[in-house]
Amino acid sequence: MIVRSKSPLRLGLAGGGTDVSPYSDLHGGSILNATINLYAHATIEPLEGGEIEFVAIDQDEKLSFSSVAELPVDGKLDLLKGVYNYVVRNFTKKPLSFRLTTFVDAPPGSGLGSSSTLVVTILGAFAEWLQLPLGEYDVAHMAYEIERIDLGLEGGKQDQYAATFGGFNFMEFSGNDKVVVNPLRVRKKFATELMNNLILCYTGTSRESAQIIKTQTANIEARSKEALEATHKVKEQSVRMKEALLTGRLDQIGQILNDSWNSKKQMASGITNPQIDKIYDTAMMAGATGGKISGAGGGGYMFFYCPLNTRYAVLKALEGIGVKEQIYEFTETGLYSYTIQ
């Protein structure tokens, strides 16, 4: 028997960072994101020899253990261990024996939510294998608990829900970890035109988002006026983005992205750097009307809105400084798991 699972990565189009506590608890947050056809993959093969094997193909890592109820969290494939420990502690109450193989289509630190998406995917594979009665909100919330509570990793709440639900979603966050996912019925021609005009590219460097998020959190806790006002503006732009997508006023998206980027840079230090500024300025001078970095900042993927036929000039300009386009398509579905006997 083989159990397979996959979940899509996401583009955070607007509102990024407003899902992070304590801002979301105190003021409420909102984010608009869309999933794309880059995925996290997981395969479970049950074993009978009393062993646990982890194989992370994209990271070229392999670990083996005797089958025990709790695996040590020590910096080596902790996301895989964290899901296993959670499943045993809350569901099976006894050790399992299996081989878990994973692969993610984007590098770590990409800003596309790869870590959270991988957790969702692995949890989905276990739920399929063990026939756990979990709904979409259950999976997303459990993935959040594994990352943020059990493993103590810094971050927000949007990635787990984007990977689980898939598609275009407007998400609302409030106190007590309350999350409401509002799927958006974006007309096909609007989504297709957005995909044509929105260039996704890789900066060439990954980044560690934890420190940026820690700084952002500290700024909110310290009631930094600049950081707080900037975060309010980022949240407002998620509403503007939703209205533009639903009504087909796509010509507004570039300006919304540009406004969002200028606000985001005031939320915490480290969000931008000279390399990112150079990429942004190059795209804007070539005809883009706005853009932003995907995720917390500091590196990973960026995207730019290029109206009419400016995408070709922007791509040429970016290629001139060594930045390559990432081909993608929007997806309509989220977590998907199945079993082959």
In a shared domain, residues 156 and 209: no
In a shared domain, residues 53 and 179: yes
One-letter amino acid at 302 equals M
In a shared domain, residues 259 and 136: no
What's the domain count of the chain?
A: 2
Q: Look up the CATH number of the domain holding residue 271.
A: 3.30.70.890
Q: Concatenated DSSP letters for 190-236?
A: HHHHHHHHEEEEE-S----HHHHHHHHHHHHHTT-HHHHHHHHHHHH
Backbone angles phi, psi at 224, to 5 degrees: -60, 120
In a shared domain, residues 196 and 269: yes
Name the maximum alpha-carbon separation found in the chain: 61
CB 95 within 8 A of CB 27: no
Q: Look up the CATH number of the domain holding residue 129.
A: 3.30.230.10
- Alpha-carbon Rg for the chain, nearest whole angstrom, is 20
In a shared domain, residues 198 and 133: no
Is 283 exposed, middle or buried, given 0-12, 13-18 or 19+ CB atoms closer than 10 A? buried
In a shared domain, residues 130 and 207: no
Query: Can you tell me the distance from the alpha carbon of 56 to that of 94, in angstroms, rounded to the nearest whole number?
Result: 24
In a shared domain, residues 29 and 162: yes
One-letter amino acid at 104 equals V
Report the SS3 class of residue 259: helix
Kindly report whether the global pTM for this prediction surpasses the value 0.85: yes
Q: How many CB atoms lie within 10 A of CB 233?
A: 16
In a shared domain, residues 34 and 176: yes
What is the span of the domain harbouring residue 107? 2-185+331-340
Q: DSSP code of 14? A: E
Query: Left if phi > 0, otherwise alpha if psi is -120 to 50, otherwise beta: which for 299?
Result: left
In a shared domain, residues 33 and 165: yes
In a shared domain, residues 38 and 150: yes
In a shared domain, residues 174 and 272: no
Q: Which residues contact 265 (CB under 8 A, 6 or more apart)?
A: 230, 271, 272, 297
What tens-digit pLDDT sequence spans the chain (341 residues)?
A: 999 999 999 999 999 889 988 889 889 999 999 999 999 999 999 999 899 999 999 999 999 999 999 999 999 999 999 999 999 999 999 999 999 999 999 988 788 999 999 999 999 999 999 999 999 999 999 999 999 999 999 888 999 999 999 999 999 999 888 999 999 999 999 999 999 999 999 987 655 555 667 776 777 777 778 888 989 999 999 999 999 999 999 999 999 999 999 988 887 667 788 899 999 999 999 999 999 988 755 678 999 999 999 999 999 999 999 999 999 999 999 999 999 98
**Predicted pLDDT at 211:** 64
> Which residues are annotated as catalytic?
159
In a shared domain, residues 181 and 202: no
CB 86 within 8 A of CB 28: no
